[in-house]
Every structure is written in C-alpha cells, then in structure tokens.
Structure 1
C-alpha cells in the first residue's frame, strides 16, 4: 500500500505559455497540467524547473523547499523516481539551512521520501525518514491529534508492509485510542487498516471481528468507508474459504456502487478484482475472466493499476491453458511495471518469472532460461547473493537446468539455494522445504535413491512440524489444502521407503511415523475446539486460549521471517515453541476438549508400543502408489502410477515392529469379490488370502487389534475374513476396534457410561424436499425394543418417533450418554460434491416452521455437543460409507460424530434386513447393561448373534470405531 503524497495544492491558468520566458511557478503549472495525459511533456517541464531550482534561478512565494517538494511529486508521477528522490532531498537541504531538522515544515518531505522509498522496495531508508517524521510530529505538533493520528496510521501501515506484526498493531491501536470519538471517518479508516493488518499476518478470526466492527461503524455514516470495509471483509472471507459469504458481500457492493457512483468508476476496482479472485478460487474461470476484464476496462490506462490487473488476467489464462493470451498479458504487465518502477523492481521481476514459466510450458527453454537468468542478475544487484530472493531465482534456474539435462549444475545450484535458504529463512520455512523436495527430485532423476529418500525425509520432518505449529491459525479449508500437499509428499517418500530393499530399514519406520503424525490431523485440528472455548462461561479460559492463539500466530509468522529479521526483532523460535507448549498443557488441564490439540505433537511408533497391553497389537495400514520421475524430451515427467499398493505395520508391546508388504494385485477387483461373496452368502475363500493372510501370520500371540485402516480397508471388515485352511473366521481369533490413528492410544481416558439415552426411530420423511423415501416401521420397533431394555434397569430414556424425530431435536442435545438413531442414511458419491462432510448424513423429520431441512449432514453433526457422550449408534443403511481420503480416514458420519466428541461410534458397512438389525441391536443393548463398556458389549453381542444367524453378511455388518 502506498502512502498519500503530500504537496501544495497549486493551480494556475497559464496553460498556453511556452517554455521560453516562463517563471518557475508557470513551469510547475505546466508540468502539473501535462503529467497525466502527456507525461513526457510533464517530465520536460519538471526537469527544466529542477535545473532552475538547482541553479538558484527561482524566486517564489511558496518557498524553494516547497517547489522542490512539488516538482518531486510530479517526477514521481511520471516515473522518474531517482530525480524525484533528488528533488525531495534538495528540498530538505534547503529547509535545514535555516531550520532545525525536526521543524514542522519538513514533515511533508519526510513523509514523501518514506513513501517513495517504500515503493522502490528500500524499506530501511523508508523507515529512517518515517522515524524523522515521527520526531517532527512529536517536537512540532506535540498533542495535536490530527498530526499524531496521521503519523501512527502511516507507521502502522509501514510496519505491516515490512512484516512487523506487533509494531503495526501497536501503532494502529494507539491511533484508534487517540482518535476514538474524534472523527468518525478517521476511526473507521483506522479500524479497516487494523482488520487488514490482522488478515495480512494470519489472524483471520481477529481480522473478521475488527472488519465487522468497521462495517457497523461505517454503516449509515460514511458510505465510501463502508464499501472499503466490505471489500476488505470479502477478501478475508475468500481466505477463510467462506466463498458464499464473500460472493454475497461483493455483489452487494457492486450493486450499490453501480447505482450510486456511476461517475466514479474507479471505486469499482477493488470489488471487481475481488470477484475475479473469488471465481478464480472456485475454478469458475469464465466468470473470473469477465470480472477482471471489467476491472481492466474500468481502470483504463491508470499506469499504477493496469499492470497488476493484466498480470492477474494472465494467471487466469494460464489456468485455462490459454498460453498465448497469458504470454501477452505477462508481456504487457512486465512493460507496465518496467515503466512504473524501472528494471530493479520485484513486481517487474514477478512478471518476468511468469513469462519464463510460459516459455517453459511451451518448451521454449532457452527463452525461459534467459529470463530466469535476467531475474537472477536483478536479484544479485538488489539483494546480494546471500538473500532468500536470490535463492529463489537459483532454484528456478536449477530446475530448468534439470530439463536441459545439465544435472551437475542443477544439483550445485539447488545445494546453493538450500544453503542460502537455511541461513536466511531457517529449516522450517516453506521455501526451504521446497528446495529440499526439489533436491529429492533431482536425486531421483540421477538414480541416487538413497539421497532422494534422505532429502524427502528431511523435508517431511520440517513440513510436518511446521504444519502442526501453524494449523491452529488456519481455517478448516486452509488446513485441508495444506494437508493435501503434505499427503502428496508423504506418499512420494513412501514410494521409495517401501521398496522391497528398504521395507525393513529406518526410512520405512520414518514413513510410518510421518503417517502416524498426519493421519487424522484434520480431525484433531477441528474448529470444534475453538467454538467450545469461545462459548465457555469461564472468562479466564477464554483469555488463556486467546493468549495461546496469539502466541501461535507469532510462531507461525516467525517461521516465515528470515534469520536476520528474527535477530533484529529479538525473536527466538525455541522460546516461542516452549511458551506455546506450556500454555497448551495448562489449557488441557482446565478444559478437556483442548487436550485434542496436544495430539498434534510429533510421536514415534515406539510410544504406541509402550501404550499397548499384552496380547494386543496396533495394525496400521498404509496405501501408496509408485512414483516415477524422469527427464523426457527436455521435460520433467513426474506422476504417481494408478495402481495402489498396501503396507501394514504391526506394532506390539516391547518395541516390536513388523512391516508387512501385501502382494501387488488388483485390490478393487478383490473388494468386488468380497462384497459379492457376502451379499450372496457364498463362503469367501479369497479375501483372507488377498487382504489379511500376510498380516495374520504376525498375530499368533494377539487376541485384540486396534486397526487404523487406509484406502480400500475402510470398506472392509476383517472379522468376516475366512481362513479356509484353519476353517475359522478372524472374529474367532481376535476382537478388532477401528481407530483413526495410533496416536489415539496415547490419549485414552477412562470414561463412565452415563445411564441416559436419546433414541430416534422412523422419522417422518414426508416434508423433506427433493427425496422420496419409504417409512421405516422396523426402525420404530427397534427403537421401542431398546427403550424397553434400558427402562428395565431404570435408565433415563427419551424416545423420538415420526414427527418428533426432528433435526432440531438432535441439535438441542448436550452430552447425552448414548444417542441411537434408526433411520435412512445417505452418501452422494458424486465428484461434483467435493466435500463429503456435506454429501453424507442422516434423514430426520423436518419440524413445522423450522429452518432446518431434516437432513443432518456430517458437517452439522460434527458441531454437535457430544464431548461426554460415550456412544453413538447409527442404525442406518451403510452409515460407515463415506469418501475415502487417504491419511484422514473416511470423511463422513463416523468422522463427524467423533469430531463432535463421541467416544465410540457403532455403524454398518452394509445394508441388512430389518429383523436381523433388530435382533443384533437387542443383543447389543442387553450386553451393554451387563458390561457398561460399549466395546466389550459389542464383541459379546456379535458372538451371541453368530449363534442365531450364521450369515457373515449379517453378523459382520457392523464395526465399532473408537478413540481408543
């Protein structure tokens, strides 16, 4: 953001005068007149005036310093920045000949120099002149409120631009304190900048509250500021992934601006650009293109705006695959930035990089290399050879040399980039991690697989630690995007670590540890924790929680700073990490749900081994694909192969670890055989051999298994696997409990079963729009049976049938002991439904006049209050199904209810008939009365059920998913 340029407002009617015989003021007037439409003429008059001033040929009532200031502004406007700097400095020299360096008359010159140096990217000099402006403000204006607020505002925005979060906040908050109740327009402007600052530094929650406050302050008082606040809030909503809200805000702004400010089209720019960014994020490139076109047409030829807009249009064309038009855009934006800022400017370099990427995509590698080398030379001049930006250019050039086949030079440049980034950014910065990953690719290409594994492993250590530290400051959507990339990197590492020659080595163990520490990480980092704490009545916990978040924000930002910046600011990564850890432990003791945050600590498989009992094992299934990378026809060809492979790690007590590679085969075809055998009652003699026999051979001393499944194993129930040689089912050998991750076993807590049950059966489906379903009288009978069983032991039960079994009712619950829901479930397996938390759920009744539609989606279930609920029973068709997301388990109902807090979830993998379901549930609840332990009750009930129903399709229909 640029500061306002300060100068004297001078207007004269001397437009027809010629240069010869003009006075200094006439030349100034001519330069001002021509600066927008004829910049070359303006520059000519300004330079002539500057010569007169330097030669002491001007006598003017506004003062020589004032003339220098004004000619400096004109030269700045026409992009002669060096002469502009010289003019401002000459103005200062004139003033200090007769005045003190902190005289009030110098304030405008100091502000202008600071702003110009910021535009040039020379922030040290900008800061020096801003500090001088602060000294002038203090000495010359003292308690003058306007002057003080102006300085604090500029100081706050400056520190935001250079990355000083706390200094920016301090300045803006101080300005707000001084300006409170002074002028509405001033307070609103400061409030908007405060919210923007929080967004820049990742505190999206605080940013939202501050920007919403700005919106309320501006509403009905200052329409222009109101529009600005809405635009900034919309940008925040895009970052939060709340696209619907952002769209509503932006379209509202566009409509109001269009109807009320037809003559001021420039007001439209921020809104139009925001809409373009929004639809780009939504991959609606056609609409994104339409809005950026409107923005470009609105901006016209405004020189300091158009290059940015054209650059954005180029990125849209790139994603559309329209390389030719993208190239045109980047060429134009590069020319625009060159004209604005000269050849030593980061925006100009960015456009050149984009152009280079176009040439690279087109296979015009020499042209791409020329541009990358040009940017490298620019970075060398601007930053020096030990700067992080120089390392970025080295990285780009190195990857291009890889394509040329110049492997030796590529490897050397990548090593240099790694060293510079390690020294300047530290070992947890995303750019350092990228270089290490690029080195891994380089080693794969040159067939040095040992070094490739070492690089990928090192990068993952840093990436996972960084991810765990910053997750609390990200939205759910941002966490998912971050995790998708990490999961990709883990799978690539596995493709090497799980090769036959490595499966028993240290890298395979490290791969297991990476899985343990990332599997379910989205589950553990749920927004549930934040919502519960913010709704708590304990104000101290709220304060402690907010303090912890602020420390986490500081830690996240510290990772992104250079080592030099950390030293200058006195920031210690180690101290911040220790402070965060101490706060986490304290909060975990005070607020139970906060303990989930501790599950983001990095753990080793040996810790899980120590937590296991005798005759117990944890079986961790990992799905992966082979990864291939090579240089073919000067292109880096890299991708995962289609075929999935599986490895199981069996962990037992006393640090026993046994890796098991399952034979390569068509697992999808094997699953179809498994389902058909169950469905048609055929004794399945194949599934055991395909999916379980290699694992089973390591479990001879085990009678209880904690299974952490992955991939297709989420759809299997191993207890129904039949060993034809031994003539036995796996349920005869051991009990199996499904878990999200082995880490669950480290955080187990004994829980008492509250003798209270909420029972739903046969909801009324008639008012649910868009669906036609048969009623479930069998579900109602099942619910009646359960109520009678529990009432015998004087449990507190509430039963909700038909119209009473509403979505509103279940959302009103707070920590019941058991919830039993007998109804239809749904799962929309459609690529257009990207988020399975919205495409899976349960059908309930729609209450009269209710805003709830009767469909309890998994996303809504995730936000129920069930932190003291021991058991949720989902007696609906195939409630175990959901979209398989490797590393995160099944996204669907089971995940949702566990996130909501339930300790155990009982659900079905297949649809069975009403009578079989009713019989099993009767046995289960009778066993629960005797055991008071859902896990043991489940195993006992299944054993009893097998005696009366020999069909494994029925007795193996249910699984129990637990937190340990």
Structure 2
C-alpha cells in the first residue's frame, strides 16, 4: 500500500476544520474517525495488515455520519479516502476481490467529487494494477499501470507504479522490460534520497535479483538478494514479510547453486518469518512451504517433504478458492494456468515417493483438491445467480446477465463477421456482471470452493464395489528445482515430456495406487485415432466390408485400453462401477467401448460414470426436484415466428403449474437448414410409459413438434427428469467467439430454420449452453441429451470439458447423459427405449445405461450386423453429485 503522507495530513486538516463548524456530537464522531484512522496507519506501518483492515473498516463505517454526503453525490471525498486505505489493507491481506471493489468505488467517488485530476484516481489505478498482477491478468495489469503513470504527477507514486509494473513484467516472463523498469524506479529513489527510500531501493534490488535468477545468473541473484535482505533487516520490523521474501529467495538461490543443506536452513527461517507474520494459513507461507518441500525431498527427508507439500497445497487451495469466485471463466482458467506449475510439482513428487501408503493417500487429496476448481466455482456462482434472480441485492444484475447471455448466444452462432466488435463488448459485459454477482455474494470468499476434501471422505462415499480412477496430466517427469526457476515443460497441445498419471482408488480394500501411464503424446495420438475411426464409422459400415471396419475399430480400442487400463487391469476384476475422472484429451475416450485383454468391451465388465473430480463424491444435492418429468422431441424446425408466438401465448402447461442427431459439419457458423428427426418422436412416445413407471404417479409431459420450444424448456423448474431428443451442435468459430465455449454449443428446437425471422426474444429455436445456465435444474436427477456430440467441447487441463454437458451440470442437474459423436437416429431411439425399460429396476442410471448398451449389442449380433461401438458407445453419464 502507498504511504502518501501529504494525503494523510490533508485528512487531519479536513477533520480539524470540520470540527470547528460542527456541534459537539459531530465533533465526537470526527474524533472517533481520526483515532481509528491513526490506529490503522500505525498498524499498516508495522505490517499488521489484518489489524489495519479491521480498524479502517470501522473508520469507513463511521465516516458517513462524521462527514455527511459529498458535494455532488452520497459519498464524501474523505470517506472515499478512508475507503482507499481500507482497500490497501485488503490488498496487503491478499483479499483481492474486495480490494478491487473498493478501488473502483473510490475512482467513481473521486471523479464525481474532485474531478478527473484527483490524485486518488491515479493511485487507485496503480493499486488495481497490483490486483490484476496477483491474478495473473498481465494485459489488464499493464493497462492499469500505464493509466496511473499517464495521469499521476506525483514522482514518488510514479516510481512505485514503475516498480510494480516491473514486477508484472517479471511474473509474465518479460525480463528485459522488467529489468529496465526496476532500474528506472531505483535510479529515481537513489537520486532523490537513498536513506529515505532505502526500503524502496531494496525492493528494486530484490526484483533485479529475481530477473537475474530467471536468467540463470544465480551468483548475481544471490548478491542482490543479500543486499536487499540486509537493508530490510535494518529498516523493517522483525519477522516482516519482506524479510521473509528475501530469506526465501536466498534459500532458493542456494538450492539452484547445489547447496541443498543451506537452502533448507534458509527456507526454514523464511517459513518461521512468514508464519509469524501471516499465521499458519496464507498463500505466501504456502510458497515457502513448497520450496522447502522440494529441497527436503532432495535431501532425502521424504516424510518432511510430503508434510511440507501437504501444508502448502492446503494453503494454496484455500487462497485459490477465495480468488476464483470473482473471476470470469476465462480469467479463472488463466489464473489456474499460472498457478498450475506448483501442482505439477506436487504430483511429480507423489510419483517419486509413492511406495508408502500414507503418501499415496496424502497425494490423492492433492488431486481431489487440485482438479475441477473452476467448474466448482462456476457451479456455485450460477446457483447464486438464480437465487438473487428470485430476490436479493443483486437481482438487477442477474436480470442483466440473462439478457446479455441471450444476445451472446444469438450473435455467436450467427457466423456474421461484421459483429466482432459487438461480440467483444458483450463478452466483456458478461464477464463484468459475473464478477459483480460474485462480489455481491456474502459467499464470495467462502463455500465449497474453499473446502478441503479428504481421502477419508471419498472412501466414506465410494461404494465397496466401485473404483475411482483419477487421471492427471502432468507436464514434467520430476519436480522442478524451484517453482521460480522453471516454466511448464510441456502442454497438452505440445506434450513433449508430458505424461498421464492415474490414481486407482479401490472401494473394496480401501487401497490407493499411483501408476505412471507414460507419454501423453502417445496416448493422445491413440485417442485421436479412435475418435477419427468412430467419426468415419458411418461411411465404413455402409461400405463393402463392414465387419472388417468393426475389427479395425476393436483393434484400436484394444490398443488404447492397454495404454489406459492395462497397467492396473487386474485391480478392476469384479468391480461393479468405474467412476472415472479424466483429464485433457482423455475426456474424449469412449470408455465403455475399450476392449480389454480378454477381448471383451469394458461395458461387459462394469458400469461407467464420469466426474470432473473425485471430490464430487463428497457433494450431495441440497435441492429437491418437483414431481414431474418432461420429454422434448421432434422439434418443428420450420415453425414460422407467428407459430412460435401463438404457442407461447397458449402454453399447453403454465410453467408455474408444471407438476444422427446433428446437421452435419459445423464450421464457423451453424447450418441454415436442420433436417427433421422423426425417430425422436418415436423415441419420446415409447419412452413415456417407461419413464412414467419409473416416476410412479408423477406426470410425464410431452413437448413434441411445434411445442418443442426454447421458451418452454427455459420455463421448466426443477423437473425430476428432462429428456431432449434433437440435433446438437458445437461451433468451432474464431476470434471473439472463442471466448465463450458455452455460447457455441447447444440444441436445435422449433423454429430454428426460421430464426432470422424471429420476433420473440429468447425463442429463436437455438438453446445454447450459455442460456442453459439460466435454467433452474437444481434437484433434477437426470438430464438426457439424446443428440449428437453433446459431450464434446473445449478442454482445459484439470478442469473438464466446457460444453453442453457441463452447462446442464452447472444449471444444477445431478447427472447428465450426453454423447461423444454423431449418433444414428434409429439405433439411438432403440438404445434409449432399452434404457428407460431398465431404469425402474436398475440400481442407478449407469447400471441402466450398461444394460441398454448390452441389449443393443445383443440385438445387433442377433440381426447379423456388426455390433460396432458407433451404434451404442456414444452416450456417457457425467455425475455432478454423489450417487444416492
């Protein structure tokens, strides 16, 4: 935080002047504000940031009564000044979202009360640059710093902005710019007053040491860190975090120079300093604990290394869970990418020391709490958005968000190249509204996203006849020497040394095993071969040699199975259900169709369920569905706009009383014409009695033909089961469209072929994943997407697939059945009829799907046709909560 003495003095004078004019009661309030202000300043100077935060909060709460309204608005400029100090305290405490909110409020008040030349505006922009830097938002950080430098005429503030800009350049690997900016700031302070600015000069020396370390000039880095540490020890209170920073980096440098023993000593000292400064739970302590773990491992202290890494992972998880709620999905993935290197180190460490059972159990928790973070936060946020839409402080924001999503959905799918700027603006607005809703929530820094799932909790919820398979992509085959000295060694797109690991968690004997599956490049290539083969299956099966085509597919599936399951296939004997948490390209594997050593498909051995993370086994649905189900099928794609409006006005069931299915290659835009799917009507009509039997006395509502409307689906509230049988799509797109994968996937409903003529907002026949987020499916047990490629989308390492299946889960559905490729209309209708015939007596949806797949295989064999996986293996069930 900035120590702007002139501004503090100005506040003292302002309060004193106001005291002369006001009465005794008012003067008493002003005295109270002043005492709180002075106490907060003292706490801040001593590095007691949490105490400063609490004290400034009290001052801000009292200030409106002491200062009254502003000249032009409800907030006085002096109240805003206290808000700025409170924001600084939040920033020092790493409470980034609250700090950002306060800085933006300060800028708004300063513009209104003091004009564009207010020093507060420049200072707040500089601080917002720090917020963006800590979130890994490099471009936003640079823009904010440059804005501050452009409008701030205070040379001290400009030097600090220059130094902070240098830190951003350092973290974003722009080392020449970082070095120049650090030297520019240091030159100013040395020329102005070396004694007065000794601490600021030390911060630049520390930064230059980091640059030298990144450039692998470890001796120079060591010298700079020593100089900075000596100054900081002289000028700062004992156990200050900046002393801890320099001590930590001296330990890191020792490690990189090969002196592990000295590194451990220094890092333990840094751990003590950070613990004294922050307490036992803080991200900066986690950073030190991570480095200590790496060095203890090299020293041979395996137990100490694992314990230190475990503390580090818990502290990182807590911090990440508090940051993500205020970020957009794209920002979350960017932030997690920046932080993922340390998680990769933890996984590599686990493999290296997996011999001991307790280490495997501890490492499983790193997996459980390291995967699916963005998914979990998004799920919480969308539940919150629906809550505030029903009432609350953020109701208006939620309404605006729904409107923006409708516009985004329509424009993204249009393929119109002339609307790129409009798309960018809508994307930006959607991001801001999501962040505001997150910040408006009292749950913003709490909830499931900060909860630590344990191995014991997973075993409590994992059935005895089930096995959890946690797959993890790692970009290294051994831990880094230091998180500061290495960049990720590979990515899923360029997996030079990337590997897949598997955690096998057995419910029967409560055992955990870790297996290194080998090269990600080789495994991804095998996955691609299988996907290509299945996509080409319709052509090959219609050719002269369908049985040869089926055998070729079996061979490729067996080769893939050997890579993914072969190393531990014996552990899967007798298992009822495999609960699989894939990673990266493994999300596109048709797991049920994998061919095992004995030549049988996996579906012949076990049920299969998909989860983003085994952590989901620890979650239970907290909502109850309403007693009805709905089936939507055979949409009237040619329904004209007037037909849509007529049916909206004459809704068959008021929503408040509600008790290859693909158009072909989807390129940059959706097809203009979608062919009818009469098989879906048959499927719906044959499914209805089976579904009614499953539900008991609860009604099953059919929406067929012209009644298969987008607005009808959006009006549904918590159906127990929802089935949609139609065309599915995923648009690849380019440019701004890539920013929103959920706006580029969806379902085709009535009127889609006439959507250019649509006059009904939100009912153009295009139900996108983005619009699904606004549906209320909390408590819904199962959504069946009987359409093509509804399980595909964009993958992010550790975060699942952003696509239609995820959209329905984020909307609250407990389970979603979706498909991996373009499915045949007739066989799919038969498969779904089998599924609902089995569901009433089946133990679970996965059991019913397995029975249906086996029956379709038998039916194809009896007819003398190839039982090719193309016909039956596309559907998979993704589970968002624990099985009942």
Does residue 850 of the first structure (1) align with residue 850 of the second (2)?
Answer: no
Does residue 523 of the first structure (1) align with residue 364 of the second (2)?
Answer: no
Report how many aligned residue pairs link the two structures: 749
Instruction: Name the residue aligned to 1:494.
Output: 347
Within the candidate set 816, 819, 823, 2:722 is matched to 819
Instruction: Name the residue aligned to 2:55.
Output: 167
State how far apart, in whole Å, the 2-side matches of 1:317 and 1:205 are.
22
Query: How far 1:730 sits from its partner (Å)?
Result: 2.0
Does residue 686 of the first structure (1) align with residue 559 of the second (2)?
Answer: yes
Name stretches of at least 5 consecutive residues in structure 1 with no aligned partner.
7-110, 116-129, 228-256, 258-263, 543-592
| SS of residue in 1 equivalent to 2:498 | strand
Map 1:371-520 to 2 at 5 A: 371-443=224-296, 452-467=305-320, 480=333, 483-484=336-337, 487-499=340-352, 502-503=354-355, 505-520=357-372
Map 1:199-214 to 2 at 5 A: 199-200=87-88, 201=90
Summarize the Cα distance change of 1:712–1:277 in structure 2 as closer, same or farther, 3 Å threshold.
same
Instruction: Name the residue aligned to 1:349.
Output: 202
Within the candidate set 466, 469, 476, 1:616 is matched to 466
State how far apart, in whole Å, the 1-side matches of 2:524 and 2:205 are.
47
State how far apart, in whole Å, the 1-side matches of 2:158 and 2:636 are.
59
Residues 405-435 of structure 1 show CA distances to partners (whole Å, capped at 9, x for unaligned) of: 4444333222221222223322322222111
Query: How far 1:956 sits from its partner (Å)?
Result: 0.9
State how far apart, in whole Å, the 1-side matches of 2:787 and 2:61 are.
54
Query: How far 1:717 sits from its partner (Å)?
Result: 2.6
State how far apart, in whole Å, the 1-side matches of 2:765 and 2:104 are.
31
Residues 560-603 of structure 1 show CA distances to partners (whole Å, capped at 9, x for unaligned) of: xxxxxxxxxxxxxxxxxxxxxxxxxxxxxxxxx99x94585434
8 Å contact from structure 1 (residues 841, 855) kept in 2: yes
Within the candidate set 936, 939, 945, 2:850 is matched to 939
8 Å contact from structure 2 (residues 286, 315) kept in 1: yes
Instruction: Name the residue aligned to 2:476.
Output: 626
| SS of residue in 2 equivalent to 1:722 | coil
Within the candidate set 117, 120, 143, 2:24 is matched to 143
Within the candidate set 501, 510, 516, 1:646 is matched to 501
Instruction: Name the residue aligned to 1:959.
Output: 876
Within the candidate set 892, 897, 903, 2:803 is matched to 892
8 Å contact from structure 1 (residues 315, 326) kept in 2: yes
Q: Which deviates more, 923-932 or 135-144? A: 135-144
Residues 276-323 of structure 1 show CA distances to partners (whole Å, capped at 9, x for unaligned) of: 8899899998998788667646556x4233313433554566578665
Summarize the Cα distance change of 1:673–1:185 in structure 2 as closer, same or farther, 3 Å threshold.
closer
Query: How far 1:535 sits from its partner (Å)?
Result: 4.3
8 Å contact from structure 1 (residues 609, 654) kept in 2: no
State how far apart, in whole Å, the 1-side matches of 2:101 and 2:165 are.
32
Summarize the Cα distance change of 1:664–1:265 in structure 2 as closer, same or farther, 3 Å threshold.
closer
Name stretches of at least 5 consecutive residues in structure 2 with no aligned partner.
396-442, 491-495, 538-548, 642-665, 693-697, 861-866
State how far apart, in whole Å, the 2-side matches of 1:372 and 1:378 are.
10
Within the candidate set 593, 608, 620, 1:720 is matched to 593
Residues 596-631 of structure 1 show CA distances to partners (whole Å, capped at 9, x for unaligned) of: 945854343344334344533333333434344677
State how far apart, in whole Å, the 2-side matches of 1:265 and 1:511 are.
52
Does residue 733 of the first structure (1) align with residue 631 of the second (2)?
Answer: no
Q: Which deviates more, 502-511 or 195-204? A: 195-204
State how far apart, in whole Å, the 2-side matches of 1:780 and 1:153 are.
76
Instruction: Name the residue aligned to 2:824.
Output: 913
8 Å contact from structure 2 (residues 103, 124) kept in 1: no
8 Å contact from structure 1 (residues 873, 907) kept in 2: yes
Query: How far 1:959 sits from its partner (Å)?
Result: 0.5
8 Å contact from structure 2 (residues 632, 708) kept in 1: no
State how far apart, in whole Å, the 2-side matches of 1:705 and 1:608 are.
14
8 Å contact from structure 1 (residues 156, 172) kept in 2: no
State how far apart, in whole Å, the 1-side matches of 2:515 and 2:70 are.
72
| SS of residue in 2 equivalent to 1:698 | helix
Map 1:486-885 to 2 at 5 A: 487-499=340-352, 502-503=354-355, 505-525=357-377, 526-535=380-389, 597=447, 601-628=451-478, 639=489, 642-653=497-508, 655-662=510-517, 666-676=522-532, 678=534, 679=537, 680-682=549-551, 683-684=554-555, 685-723=558-596, 725=598, 727-748=599-620, 754-759=627-632, 761-762=634-635, 764=637, 771-773=669-671, 775-779=673-677, 781-783=679-681, 785-787=683-685, 789-790=687-688, 793=692, 795-799=699-703, 801=705, 805-806=709-710, 808-821=711-724, 822-826=726-730, 828=732, 833=738, 836-837=741-742, 840-842=745-747, 845=752, 846=755, 847-850=758-761, 856-885=767-796
8 Å contact from structure 1 (residues 265, 298) kept in 2: no
State how far apart, in whole Å, the 2-side matches of 1:882 and 1:478 are.
18
State how far apart, in whole Å, the 2-side matches of 1:480 and 1:320 are.
16
Summarize the Cα distance change of 1:474–1:197 in structure 2 as closer, same or farther, 3 Å threshold.
farther
Query: How far 1:143 sits from its partner (Å)?
Result: 2.0
CA RMSD of aligned residues (A): 4.9
8 Å contact from structure 2 (residues 793, 803) kept in 1: yes
State how far apart, in whole Å, the 2-side matches of 1:432 and 1:813 are.
48
Map 1:327-342 to 2 at 5 A: 327-338=179-190, 339=192, 342=195
| SS of residue in 2 equivalent to 1:961 | strand
| SS of residue in 2 equivalent to 1:305 | helix
State how far apart, in whole Å, the 2-side matches of 1:737 and 1:859 are.
24
| SS of residue in 1 equivalent to 2:627 | coil
Residues 421-451 of structure 1 show CA distances to partners (whole Å, capped at 9, x for unaligned) of: 2233223222221112122333456676665
Map 1:37-56 to 2 at 5 A: none
Q: Greater relative contact order (Cα 8 A, min sep 6): structure 1 or 2?
A: 2
Q: Which deviates more, 529-538 or 415-424? A: 529-538
Task: Give the TM-score, by structure 1 length.
Answer: 0.66
Summarize the Cα distance change of 1:370–1:493 in structure 2 as closer, same or farther, 3 Å threshold.
closer
Does residue 922 of the first structure (1) align with residue 794 of the second (2)?
Answer: no
State how far apart, in whole Å, the 2-side matches of 1:804 and 1:190 are.
58
Q: Name the larger-Rg structure.
A: 1
